[in-house]
Amino acid sequence: MVPVQYYLLLSAGLFCVGLFGILTRRNALVFLMSVEIMLTAANINFVAFSFQHGNLTGQVFSLFTIALAAAEVAVGIGIVLVLYRNFRGVDVTEAATMRW
Amino acid sequence: MIIELLLAFCLIGAVVVFVLPDEYAPVGALTASLFPLVTSFVMWFGFDGSGNAFLEGGQLAYETMVQWISLGPYAINWHVGVDGISMPLVVLATVLTTLAILTAWTPIDERRSQFYGLMLLLEAGLLGVFVALDFFAWLVFWEVVLVPMYMLIGVWGGPRRKYAAVKFFVYTNLATLVMFLGFMALVFGLGDSVSTLDMPAITQAIRAGELGSLAGIAPGTIKSVAFVAMFAGFAVKVPIVPVHTWLPDAHVEAPTPASVMLAGALLKMGTYALLRFNFTMLPDVAADFAPFIALLAVVSVIYGAMLALAQQDLKRIVAYSSISSMGFVILGLVAYTEYGLGGATFQMLSHGLLSGLLFACVGVIYNTTHTRMVGDMSGLADRMPVTTGMFVAGSFGYMGLPFMAGFMGEYFIFQGSFAADFAGSMVFTAVAMFGIVIVAGYFLYAMQRTLFGEYRLETDYTVGRAAVHDIVPLAVLVVLVIVLGTAPNIFFDMITDAVGPMLGGGL
Amino acid sequence: MVAFDYAPAIALLPFASFVIALFAGKYMPKRGALAGILATGGSLVLSIWMAFTVAGGETYNEELYTFVSPEAFDLHLGILVDPLAALMLIIVSLVAFLVHIFSLGYMNDEGETGLPRYYAGLGLFTASMLGFVLADNLFMAFMFFEMVGLCSWLLIGFWFRDDAPPSAAKKAFLVTRFGDYFFLVGVVGIFVTFSTATYAGSESFVRLAEEALAGNVGAVNTFGFEPQTWFAILGLLVLGGVIGKSAQFPLHTWLPDAMEGPTPVSALIHAATMVAAGVYLVARMYGFYALLPTVLAIIAFIGGFTALFAATMAVVKREIKQVLAYSTISQYGYMMLGLGVGGYVAATFHLMTHAFFKALLFLGAGSVIIAMHHNEDMWDMGGLKDRMPVTYWTFLAGSLALAGIFPFAGFWSKDEVLYEALVHGLNDPLLLGAYAMGLLAVLFTGFYTFRMVLLTFHGEPRSETAKNPHGVGWNVKLPLAVLGALAVVAGFINMVPVAELTGANIEFLHKWLEHGITGVTSEHYGELLSEFAGYQAAELSPLIPAVVSLGLALAGAGLAYVLYSGASPERHTDRLGSIKTLLMSNYYQDEYQVWLADATTRVARAADTFDQGVIDGVVNGVSSVSLFSGSRIKRVQTGVVTNYAALLSLGLVALLVVFGLLGGWF
Amino acid sequence: MAPLPDWTAAAPAILLGLTAITLLIIDSISPRSKNRNLLAGTTLVGTLAALAAAVGLLVTGTGTNGGVSLYGGQIIVDGMSLFFTIIFTSVAALVTLASYDYLAGETEQAEYYALVMLATTGMAMMASAGSLALVFVSFELLSLPSYALVAFLKDNRGSVEASLKYLLIGALSSAILLYGISLIYGVTGGLLFETVAANIQNSGLTGMLGIGVLMVLGGFAFKTASVPFHFWAPEAYEGSPGPISAYLSSASKAAGFVVAFRVFTVAFGLDIVSSVDWVLAFQVLAVVTMTLGNFAAATQDNVKRMLAYSSVGQAGYVLIGLAALGGGQDALVLGMSMTHLLVYGFMNTGAFLFIALAEHWDIGRTFADYNGLGSQAPIACAAMSVFMLSLAGIPLGGGFLSKYFLFGAAVGAGFWWLAAIAIVNSVLSLYYYLRVVRAMWFEESNGDRTIEGYPLGLYTAVIAAAVVTVLLIPAFNLVADPAVDAAAALF
């Protein structure tokens, strides 16, 4: 069987990919996707560890998180919509009227 | 219970005056201020305390003690009472407030009800500071005093009032926080030996040597650090050079009544606190630092006087001379003899009356001439003889004319500090005493230039005799100064009775 | 003794007149003058009563009112009436009484305004001075000393609408305050040393000091000094006040300016009494000074020097009151000289006679000034002799006394001072130097006195006003007459040379001062002087020095006569050339003192700049720096959300790295 | 009477949830209803009911001896959770009152109130969360409505931008939090705090544990708007509608703190986690947060933004509660942070509601716009002055006592340097809080401002907040005592 370390590496990689996306992309939607990737990384951990520890807590919880992620995206899309309406675009760096 | 009554009168009066329409505010405030005045006199005549409130064997007058907050291991009480040190100051505060309200009648013409309400609020805070015996109760009053004063300066003040008000508030608040940390270090250093923030209990515990180490810091170090922190904090309030610069600004910008209260009563909070905290709780540390403190005192006296000598603005002159006079108080405190401590306390009273008197005089002059610059006027004696008389009386009182309060206070201090135990006390005292020559210099100069000579006024106002309600407070103050100067025992007895026990340990 | 129960009233009566004049003066017929006259008259009567009681061998030394009484020692008011005090009481109250009367003529008749203030001032002054005389301890003495200073400020600055008087008043108060500073230090020092400051009695500091020097220090704390040294320091400190009030060099500069005040004030304060306070103080605690030879020598030397120094300046003055002012300084120099050389009685004697004839001279000058419509320049006068005979003859009597011409009062007293100086000086060159200066001053005194008389009263009138002067009333003439008589006869109470010659027992003043409270009598002082100060009087007949000084006085007078007699004397002062300017500008004494004052002000300005710039600058600097850093710090918030994400991640990574290293995770 | 069943201990949360559902039902019955009385009324009733329940439970001593634990320890109702529920519900009540006027004429009011209620429910659950799972769920239950509420003014660029930033940073933070939780789970094999606490020592995986702990800490730092996770806060508070700013800056922040308190004291207790010195981490956070917050606030021109930064600074003070642990005064410091949060809940909410009032009058947002307001609206301005001074730690309000006790306790715990830094910040904060007072009272009104009408709801809310703030000085014991007890129960 695959030792848990590999899963950990995988999830860490995913997490970094997501982070990289957040730091580099300016499109709000891509931003949201990157967040999803990070959450997925966490989910992988949960599943993997729950398998290792031999209890279901992690797996169950990962279901919760998936749902929450979906909700988050839903709200996010809504906000992106009004963003588009107000700023004529979905570039997150456009909305920078408030600063300092 | 009567102390609660005293405070309640002030607060209720403040609320009532706040809601009064402006035209009735002055009379209302005057009436309201009479209640605490009378109450304080009742307290004075019925005073049955003895000894020092902070030390064993101190019999407090009008004591009340009920639990207010219980904070884990610590109990914080509503603990008030007066002893021979605080009683005179309470009387001073009430008297000054009433007179200050009188001095406000002429100059204050807008938002009156707010003004007088704040004055009464100020009185409540002041009295609280002098009667509170639990640290946090005391601290609440100590800080709340700043608010009305800040508003008084900022709303009714002179051209640079905003700057002065903020400077006053922020500077003194910083001082309070520093002092607070120092005191907290003591409290926690005492550990389990005290279960309350009652100042007398803490004082006795410290003097009994129950101070332990805190976070690996030795008791001795804690003592010194706490002493320095508290001294620095209170020094700002006094103020002692070099942390004095907020005072002239605040005084110059403040309206006359606020100046009267500020110089007359607020500065006393600083010296009172020094007496209660640094010199009652940590006499041994005070002894170690004595020469240094005495040096600061002497510098305040001479340097302050020199600054006063350089001023052209009458209010600035009086303001800087206050710094000088408060330096004497510090000298008396550090002397730590019966005459020294008693004289310091007495000097608080006399300086309270005298500086109040002088600020009130300057105010009256300003009301009619609309200038305070020495160069802008001369020969006022010709037009306002009575005010001149009062000003002369006040100035000579300030110069330490015998049979006036100032002389007694300063003489006691000199007598007490000349042979004090710390090194070089004689030299320090002798140098400080030279202040009486400089003070004569600038007051005589100011009087000669403004009051005497041919009548001349740069501002185009017609100068007439001052109104009666302007003169009354001046006259009352002059009388009080003379009474206190000829019969100092009316207060000095109870003061010495209260400071006597302090001399037991430490220095 | 019943009389002494009224002792406080001596000082309280004038005080009452002060209160009345101040508050009710403007409603009274003479604006408070009458109250003052009655009060001072009452004081005079009481003083005389005291004197008689004292003459009966009674003395009085009681504490009356205690200010405060802590454990260490108390501060109180008390009364000490002994021969010295009784004598001084009479002098003060008499002069004050006469001055009040004179003021009716000088102030009321001249239609001055502000008279209630004037009489209130006179009353308060008289009260303070009498209080000072009655004082039984140094603390009380200092209090009244200061009150006297206040009164002189009030009265010198009486004409406050002009510029000069307020300025002169300021100067007078400041200079004397400077002296009083040392006095105050001395008082405090004496208290901490002896725990008491009473003059007389077994517990008095004088007695304690004597015992301490005699070896039994007891509770006296000399702070590690030799008692001799420490007491000398204390004595010198107190002497500071004396020099200030008695206008001795170098603090004499205020007195001539003080002539800006009304002439009666000059007579009362700056001739007869206030200036006497200093000398009286030394006499009062002479038992202390008699223990300290160095201090005595200093006193003597200052006195002698001042006597000469002031006399020379008087030579060239144009205003009559200026001449008198400098002569006053000079005469008090003599008294100091007398005290310094151990001539306690002599100095007291001169104090008394001088009080009379100098008051007389000032009042005479006052009456002349009335006549001259307040013109004081002697060169505008002349020939007043025939127009105002009373003034002339009394003034002449006073002048003769001042010049020390036989047999007028001044002769006897000044002669005795010089005699004492000489007999003690023969054993002590320092004192001899003082004597020499005093002796030389006699010559100048004779000169300027008669220059003054001649210029004022003799020759032809040199101005219109002098031709037909303004007449003076009885209220001017009466005081002149009284004092004139005294100026003639006052000396007879103590004719030492005559006593020597005839062997008659007529040294009444000596006898008077010999009895009294033990320890404060002249004979005890004599013992102390010989025992502690080591003063030895050389055997010498009083005749020779008397003749010498008389001769010098006459010489001076004669010189004046030669120069200034005749119908229209011309000004010889120009002959002095540069010396004249030097004298006219008073040896530039004022200049350096003014310079000192200015320097102080400059320092003060510098301090102010420093305060505003540096100290307050730091305060404001702190605030502006924090605000500036705030305005920079907030730039982190760029507004671009990606930056936020980046910073957030960076922060987290930083935390992870730091703690990873700290916790040693990898 | 028979003792109540255990589940009643969760009554506050349940009531809040029910209210939210009720509102949604109402909305589905009459969509786009503008019936302010009905909607705001319902919300207020529900909130107050929850508040009453919480108070009742606290008074009847449900919180004592470890409290009640439900659903296998997923939910723990103890002193602390009830204490914080009281904070949340009071703030929610004030906000609802204020919104009554603020939303006048708005459509979608029902959604607004429903969202508020849902968020409040999330907070209540956070306060009583007993496992990391519930922590994350309730965390999201709070966050998601908040994003929406911030964006409530849909066609106001500020509002939208604010919500965008809030959303993005929030999403990132929740991801970090979740990842952290996953690591903790990996180390301990459980999500319940007990399990975590039980298994955490004897696991060699220090590194993983450490990363996990710090990531969790980061997640909480986001909620409490602590540097460097604070970037969303200034914009979110400035951009969102006034009542929501008040709500987020007071209640949401408190929620973040309560969960942090519980997790770090129970799950990662000092005595348990030796390898990760998270106290030091909190010290760093506290210092940086208070410094940056106060210094940035000092020079703002916009009052609302100044308050936003100041609330960051205040978070720094509260962090002392965690940063000064282990000094022997744990119960005291933690209790004082809790107390400060409660007092802060009132004074800060009040301050933001005053801003809402100003927005309602649409007078501008800068200090200059407030000039001379004191003469036109003396009562409200007096209340605002009380808030400002109390925030600055001047004894016009309970903020003085809680703040000073907090600093004092820090000294007592031996962290005098922490207190010293706090002092510098406190003084600076006094300076900028005074700028508001000065503008309102000292400056002359610059003419053309007319105040039409004095909205009842907003006024009531502001005055109520002011009154409570002031009364909290004499009545300080009422909150300080339970707080210290609740804190003591955690150790």
| Model ipTM over 0.95 | no
Query: With bands split at pLDDT 50, 70 and 90, how would you rate the model's confidence at C472?
Result: confident
- Are D404 and B180 an interchain contact pair (Cβ–Cβ within 8 Å)? yes
Residue type, D154: K
Q: Would you say how long chain D is, in residues?
A: 491
Q: Which residue of B has its CA nearest to C144?
A: B402
Query: What CA–CA distance (Å, rounded) separates B135 from B142?
Result: 10
- Contact of C649 with A19, CB cutoff 8 Å: yes
Chain C environment of A20 (Cβ under 8 Å): none
Q: Which residues in chain B (57-116) have CB-CB distances under 8 A to chain D?
A: 68-73, 111
Query: What CA–CA distance (Å, rounded) separates D101 from D94?
Result: 12
pTM above 0.90, yes or no: yes
User: Does residue D420 lie within any of the structural domains?
Assistant: yes
Chains that touch B (3 or more CB pairs under 8 A): C, D
Q: What SS3 class is residue C319?
A: strand
Kindly tell me if the per-residue pLDDT of C529 is higher than 70.
yes
Q: Which of D150, D167, D231, D423 to mutate to test the interface with C (most CBs of C within 10 A)?
A: D231
Chain D environment of B181 (Cβ under 8 Å): 407-408, 411, 416, 419-420, 423
Query: With bands split at pLDDT 50, 70 and 90, how would you rate the model's confidence at B248?
Result: very high
- Inform me whether the C-beta atom of residue C502 falls under 8 Å from chain B C-beta atoms: no
How near does any CA of chain C get to the CA of A7, in Å?
19
Query: What CA–CA distance (Å, rounded) separates D297 from D428?
Result: 9
Instruction: Answer whether B touches A (≥3 Cβ pairs < 8 Å).
Output: no
The closest alpha carbon to D96, from D340, D348, D353, D341, belongs to D353
Kindly tell me if the per-residue pLDDT of B506 is higher than 50.
no
C-alpha torsion sign, points B428, B433, B434, B438: positive
Q: What pLDDT sits at residue B37?
A: 96
User: What average pLDDT does range C636-652 have in this prediction?
Assistant: 92
Kindly tell me if the per-residue pLDDT of C626 is higher than 50.
yes
Architecture of the domain spanning A4-87: Orthogonal Bundle (1.10)
Residue type, B427: V
Query: What CA–CA distance (Å, rounded) separates C406 from C442?
Result: 13
Kindly tell me if the per-residue pLDDT of C154 is higher than 70.
yes
- Inform me whether the C-beta atom of residue C357 falls under 8 Å from chain B C-beta atoms: no
- Inform me whether the C-beta atom of residue C627 falls under 8 Å from chain D C-beta atoms: yes
Query: With bands split at pLDDT 50, 70 and 90, how would you rate the model's confidence at D463?
Result: very high
pLDDT tens string B297-312: 999 999 999 999 999 9
- Looking at the 3D structure of chain D, how many domains does it have? 1
User: What average pLDDT does range A56-84 have in this prediction?
Assistant: 93
Query: What CA–CA distance (Å, rounded) separates C38 from C33?
Result: 9
Instruction: Answer whether C touches A (≥3 Cβ pairs < 8 Å).
Output: yes
Chain C environment of A99 (Cβ under 8 Å): 637-640
User: What average pLDDT does range D476-491 have in this prediction?
Assistant: 89
- Are B155 and D434 an interchain contact pair (Cβ–Cβ within 8 Å)? no
Q: Which residues in chain B (146-185) have CB-CB distances under 8 A to chain D?
A: 146-147, 150-151, 154-155, 161-162, 165-166, 169-170, 173-174, 177-178, 180-181, 184-185
Token pair of D124 as six digits:
């209540």
Query: Shortest CB distance from A92 goes to which of C635, C638, C641?
Result: C641
Maximum C-alpha span of chain B = 72
How near does any CA of chain D get to the CA of A67, in Å?
10
User: What average pLDDT does range B471-495 have in this prediction?
Assistant: 93
- Are A97 and D157 an interchain contact pair (Cβ–Cβ within 8 Å)? yes
Q: What pLDDT sits at residue D3?
A: 66
User: Does residue D82 lie within any of the structural domains?
Assistant: no
The domain limits of chain C are: 159-585, 594-663
pLDDT tens string D315-327: 999 999 999 988 8
Query: With bands split at pLDDT 50, 70 and 90, how would you rate the model's confidence at A1?
Result: low
Query: With bands split at pLDDT 50, 70 and 90, how would you rate the model's confidence at B507?
Result: very low
Q: If you ran DSSP here, which 8-state letter would residue B82 be given?
A: E
Residues 6+ away with beta carbon under 8 Å from C402: C327, C331, C357, C358, C361, C410, C445, C449
User: Does residue D411 lie within any of the structural domains?
Assistant: yes
Q: What pLDDT sits at residue D391?
A: 94
Query: With bands split at pLDDT 50, 70 and 90, how would you rate the model's confidence at B341?
Result: very high
Element (DSSP H or E) covering residue C13: helix C7-24
The domain limits of chain B are: 1-283, 289-507
Instruction: Answer whether B touches C (≥3 Cβ pairs < 8 Å).
Output: yes
- Contact of C151 with C164, CB cutoff 8 Å: no
Pairing mode of beta strands D75-77, D68-70: antiparallel
Token pair of D172 as six digits:
């990132």
Query: What CA–CA distance (Å, rounded) separates B284 from B211?
Result: 13
Query: With bands split at pLDDT 50, 70 and 90, how would you rate the model's confidence at C465?
Result: confident
In D151-205, alpha helices (H):
157-188, 193-200
Chain B environment of D407 (Cβ under 8 Å): 177, 180-181, 184
Query: What CA–CA distance (Å, rounded) separates D302 from D367?
Result: 6
For chain D, percent of residues with pLDDT exceeding 90? 67
The closest alpha carbon to D58, from D36, D83, D91, D23, belongs to D83
Query: With bands split at pLDDT 50, 70 and 90, how would you rate the model's confidence at C666?
Result: low
The closest alpha carbon to C361, from C489, C484, C485, belongs to C484
How near does any CA of chain C get to the CA of D218, in Å?
7
The better pLDDT of the pair C474, B251 is held by B251
Kindly tell me if the per-residue pLDDT of D1 is higher than 50.
no
- Inform me whether the C-beta atom of residue D489 falls under 8 Å from chain B C-beta atoms: no
Q: Which residue has the tokens 């106002």?
A: B461
The closest alpha carbon to D19, from D140, D151, D130, D117, belongs to D117
Token pair of A49 as six digits:
């560890």
- Inform me whether the C-beta atom of residue C594 falls under 8 Å from chain B C-beta atoms: no
User: What average pLDDT does range C187-210 have in this prediction?
Assistant: 90
Query: What CA–CA distance (Å, rounded) separates B352 from D384?
Result: 34
Query: What CA–CA distance (Å, rounded) separates C61 from C196?
Result: 15
Average pLDDT, chain C: 88
Element (DSSP H or E) covering residue C114: none
In A1-100, alpha helices (H):
4-24, 28-53, 57-87
- Contact of C453 with C566, CB cutoff 8 Å: no
- Inform me whether the C-beta atom of residue D323 falls under 8 Å from chain C C-beta atoms: no
How near does any CA of chain C get to the CA of D332, in Å?
27
Query: What CA–CA distance (Å, rounded) separates D485 from C204?
Result: 70
User: What average pLDDT does range C610-623 have in this prediction?
Assistant: 92
Query: What CA–CA distance (Å, rounded) separates B479 from C54?
Result: 38
Token pair of C23 as six digits:
């508050």
* Burial (CB count <10 Å: 0-12, 13-18, 19+), residue C348: buried
Query: What CA–CA distance (Å, rounded) separates D178 from B442?
Result: 74
User: What average pLDDT does range D160-177 have in this prediction?
Assistant: 94
- Contact of B299 with B241, CB cutoff 8 Å: yes
- Are A93 and C637 an interchain contact pair (Cβ–Cβ within 8 Å)? no
Query: What CA–CA distance (Å, rounded) separates B476 from C410?
Result: 50
How near does any CA of chain D get to the CA of C637, in Å?
7
Query: Shortest CB distance from C663 goes to which of D164, D277, D431?
Result: D277
Q: If you ran DSSP here, which 8-state letter would residue D192 be given?
A: B
Residue type, D350: G
User: What average pLDDT does range C116-127 have in this prediction?
Assistant: 92
Query: What CA–CA distance (Å, rounded) separates D179 from A39?
Result: 7
Query: What CA–CA distance (Å, rounded) separates A60 from D190?
Result: 12
Q: Which of C623, C655, C666 to mutate to test the interface with D (most CBs of D within 10 A)?
A: C655
The residues that bridge with C135 in the sheet, in sequence order, are: C79
Query: What CA–CA distance (Å, rounded) separates B122 from B266?
Result: 9
Q: Which residue has the tokens 């929030």?
A: D170
The closest alpha carbon to B42, from B82, B101, B97, belongs to B82
Q: Which residue has the tokens 């499109």?
A: A27
Residues 6+ away with beta carbon under 8 Å from B225: B182, B185, B217
Three-state SS string across D70-124, please? ECCCCEEECHHHHHHHHHHHHHHHHHHHHHHHHCCCCCCHHHHHHHHHHHHHHHH
Query: What CA–CA distance (Å, rounded) separates B115 from B29?
Result: 10
Q: Which residues in chain A (27-56) have CB-CB distances under 8 A to chain C?
A: none
* Alpha-carbon separation of residue B207 from B2, B184, B190, B215 (angstroms): 31, 16, 11, 21
pLDDT tens string C481-512: 999 998 888 888 888 888 877 877 888 888 88
Token pair of C454 as six digits:
């001649």
Print the domain residue range for D323.
278-491
- Are D231 and C648 an interchain contact pair (Cβ–Cβ within 8 Å)? yes
Question: Contacts for B280-283 with beta carbons within 8 Å, 24 or more apart?
Answer: B280/B52, B280/B54, B280/B55, B280/B203, B280/B502, B281/B54, B281/B186, B281/B202, B281/B203, B281/B206, B281/B207, B282/B206, B282/B223, B282/B226, B282/B227, B282/B506, B283/B207, B283/B336, B283/B502, B283/B505, B283/B506, B283/B507
The residues that bridge with D192 in the sheet, in sequence order, are: D131
Chain D environment of A85 (Cβ under 8 Å): 154-155, 160
Query: Shortest CB distance from D296 goes to which of C633, C655, C666?
Result: C633
Query: With bands split at pLDDT 50, 70 and 90, how would you rate the model's confidence at C623?
Result: very high
Query: Shortest CB distance from D133 goes to which of A31, A61, A87?
Result: A61
* Alpha-carbon separation of residue C19 from B398, B481, C36 (angstroms): 22, 17, 10
User: What average pLDDT does range B42-53 have in this prediction?
Assistant: 91
